[in-house]
Amino acid sequence: SDVHRVQSLDNLDCQFGSKIALWCGTYLAASKKGRLRVLASTQPNAIEAAVAVAAVGGGRATHQSGLNPLDRGSKRVSADDDDRSMAFGERFEGGGESYADLVRRLEPCLLDIEASMDPVLVIAHVGPCRALRAYFLGLDVAKTMGAPESDGARALANRAECIVELKPKIAGSWLEKIHDLSAQQATPKGDDAGAAKRARTE
């Protein structure tokens, strides 16, 4: 299945959620896909966005705690500004997680994505999104979790309003495409499904 990942959830508001829903309606119309599978974290902002997107995609959102933010313990710097180099199994001080812990709790989500016959939209936070991107693109997880250096990592930054699309290629590789929604006009709250439906039929 195609995989689409949305980031910037720490800054997610109703306007960005509306932009995501509108983009999904346009995507479904252009791709002739009938349904969209939505996986989201259990955080309130992710739940709100997932409900709007699921209404557009003709399905129901599934919420998984494995997609919740990486526990950085007593460390308060955000992933966007974190230039510290950490080993894969090293835990953050103050009872935090390691990247290995994060990968383990993402395994059920990966199984859902790989088993889905429909395109999958994942609505989550910096850490889980970067770890999932690293898995599909064959990247070193620990090296992708610090300050963003590639276009894909920057698209998954807290301050970004982007969708990172991963499409399967022959021989098991994946094609990455970035959709910047920052310039897209949001629909009024409550009109997400109607606007997306219009995008699908126009």
| Structure confidence by residue, pLDDT tens digits, 21-34 | 889 888 888 888 77
- Beta carbons within 10 angstroms of residue 195's beta carbon: 19
What does each C-alpha distance from 98 to 101, 168, 202 come to in angstroms?
Answer: 5, 29, 47
Band (pLDDT 50/70/90 cuts) for residue 186 is low
The answer, yes or no, to whether residue 195 has pLDDT greater than 50, is no
Which one, of 201, 199, 202, lies nearest residue 18 by Cα? 199
**Span 180-196, average pLDDT:** 61
pLDDT score, position 199: 36
2 pLDDT band, cuts 50/70/90, is: low
What is the predicted pLDDT for the residue at 164? 94
Q: How far, in Å, CA of 171 to CA of 166, rounded?
A: 15
Is the model's pLDDT at 19 over the cut of 90?
no
Question: In 61-172, at which residue ranges do the beta strands (DSSP E only) sit?
Answer: 62-63, 120-123, 162-168
Asked which of 61-75, 140-154, 180-194 is least confident by mean pLDDT, the reply is: 180-194
Give the whole-angstrom CA distance, residue 48 versus residue 43: 9
**Sequence spans of domains, the chain:** 3-36+64-116+129-201
- Express each pLDDT in 149-171 by its tens digit: 888 888 888 778 899 999 988 88
User: What pLDDT score was predicted for residue 157?
Assistant: 81
